[in-house]
Amino acid sequence: MRIDIITIFPQMFEGPFNHSILKRAVEKSLVEIHLHDLRKYTTDKHRSVDDYAFGGGAGMVMMIEPVDRCLESLQSERNYDEIIYLSPDGELLDQKISNNLSLKQNLIFLCGHYKGIDERIREHLITREISIGNYVLSGGEIAAAVLTDSIVRLLPGVLNDETSALSDSFQDDLISPPVYTRPRKYKDWKVPEILLSGNEKKITEWKHERSLERTKKRRPGMI
């Protein structure tokens, strides 16, 4: 898989992409992640990528030309399955979306800034819009990092135990059950005896019951 991220702050990705699972995935050549500084595609002598909004109003707007030039450059080299704009009013990211995108080969993520992007970008250049929640961030970089992580961890070979992702919350439309580890007893707080029994059938039933309980309590709309 290849993911191209268009941003005006490529340095913001150094932290999340240089550690843990994402770093291992890149090192194993399971995914290519390329950052593109949008300012390199502007013809403005000051390297500006934003301008005032027609019709007035507070805030600047990202211009269409540098975005179009960047997309044309990328698309001249390969075909992309999706060109995704990280937007507060896009479809809400969930596990099904991440599962679907993990099956793609080439993806582009566009990180917005300021008051937003020229609407013509959304109308003519973007194929999909995704939001990580009903709130506004200073820019799309954090959202792009979240989306990247949620996709890459699903790629075969990324996790040491490939069955781990299959038991994550939301994979079967349920929240994951509680988990425990050593010690068995701490400050009179004990691990449920069923998990120590070795009876796989009973343990599986217990986990499913706890998943149902948690989902009904925390995400009742999923039931």
Instruction: Kindly state whether residues 26 and 109 are assigned to the same domain.
Output: yes
pLDDT tens-digit profile of 11-60?
999 999 999 899 999 999 999 999 999 999 999 889 999 999 999 988 99
Residues 147, 208 share a domain: no
72 shares its domain with 179: no
Work out the number of other CB atoms within 10 angstroms of the CB of residue 132.
Answer: 20
CB contact set of 118 (below 8 Å; sequence gap of 6+): 61, 62, 63, 64, 67
Shared-domain flag, residues 25 and 135 = yes
- 126 and 76 fall within a common domain: yes
95 and 191 both lie in a single domain: no
Would you say residue 210 lies in a domain? Answer: yes
How many other CB atoms are found less than 10 A from the CB of residue 130?
A: 23
Q: Residue 181: which CATH number?
A: 1.10.1270.20
- Residues 32, 83 within the same domain: yes
Q: How many CB atoms lie within 10 A of CB 29?
A: 8
Q: What Cα–Cα distance (Å) separates residue 51 from each residue in 9, 67, 85, 94, 139? A: 18, 13, 19, 33, 16
Q: Contact, 175 vs 167, CB < 8 A?
A: no
**How does pLDDT run across 109-159, given as a tens digit for each residue?**
999 998 899 999 999 999 999 999 999 999 999 999 999 999 999 999 999
3-state class of 69 per DSSP? helix
- CATH number of 91's domain: 3.40.1280.10
Give yes or no: residues 146 and 177 share one domain.
no
What are the C-alpha distances in Å from 124 to residues 10, 36, 112, 118, 127?
Answer: 25, 20, 16, 11, 8
Residues 197 and 131 in one domain: no
Tokens of 175: 């929240």
Flag whether 213 is in a domain.
yes
Tens-place pLDDT, residues 71-96: 999 999 999 999 999 999 999 999 99
Any domain includes 158: no
Please tell me the distance from the alpha carbon of residue 182 to that of residue 190, in angstroms, as a whole number.
10
- Tokens 């707080």 identify what position? 189
Q: Do both 147 and 176 map to the same domain? A: no
- Structural domain range at position 182: 169-222
For the chain, the domain total comes to 2
Query: Same structural domain for residues 13 and 110?
Result: yes
